[in-house]
Structure formats: structure tokens, C-alpha cells
Amino acid sequence: MKHVLLFSVLAVAVGMLLRALLDRYLGSAPPFVFFFFTSMVAAYYGGLPTGVLATLLSVPSGWYFFVEPGFVWGKGAPDDFAGVSIFVFAGTLMSVLAARMRRAQEE
């Protein structure tokens, strides 16, 4: 269980770092763009619980740092809330698919 949490936190931290490094180029681009990859990679290497946990950890991380006005909880446009909902759905779906792909390759 400890490796699930550690890998999820590490994956989200890498996604945040990449997004922060490219923030001046991306501007107000979708704030969760790099977190899709972290959820998929976490699920592929750590299994479904790791991918879902990475998705759930990405939401507060992405919201606080990358949703305008930035560094504020709960503020944002209605489409930001829709974007988070879509991200959680897509991140969970990608986690399921990545975990199944890994399991199929192992068989």
C-alpha cells in the first residue's frame, strides 16, 4: 500500500513540475493537460489504485496552482468545474485502460 501512495505522489509531482516549467508558454491552457499522462503512467506501472489515486491527487494540485486566478481555493469559472469533472472521468477511465493493458501484457 505504501508504494501506491508514493508512486502516485511522485507521478503528480512530475506532472506539476512539467506544467510549471511550461506555464509561461501554455498560459491559460487546460490546467490538467499534463495530469492526464501522470494518471495513465501511474496506472500502468502501479495498477488501478495508483492511477485513480494519482487522478484524485491531481485535482487539488492542478486547481490550486494552475486554475485562474491561481493560488486560491474554490474560485473559478463554471467551465473550470466542468473541466475538473471531465478530467476526473477521463483520468479514471485512462487508469482502468492502462491497468488492463498492463495486466494483458503480463499474461
Grid cell in block for residue 88: 476526473
| pLDDT number for residue 21 | 92
Residue of 31, 27, 98, 96 whose CA lies nearest to 58: 31
Helices of type H across 1-107: 2-21, 23-26, 35-46, 48-66, 78-106
Q: Do residues 40 and 92 lie in contact, with contact meaning Cβ atoms separated by under 8 Å? A: no
| pLDDT number for residue 79 | 79
| pLDDT number for residue 1 | 66
Mean pLDDT of successive 10-residue segments in the chain (107 residues)?
Answer: 84 93 84 90 91 94 85 75 92 94 90
Q: What are phi and psi of 28, to 5 degrees?
A: -95, 30
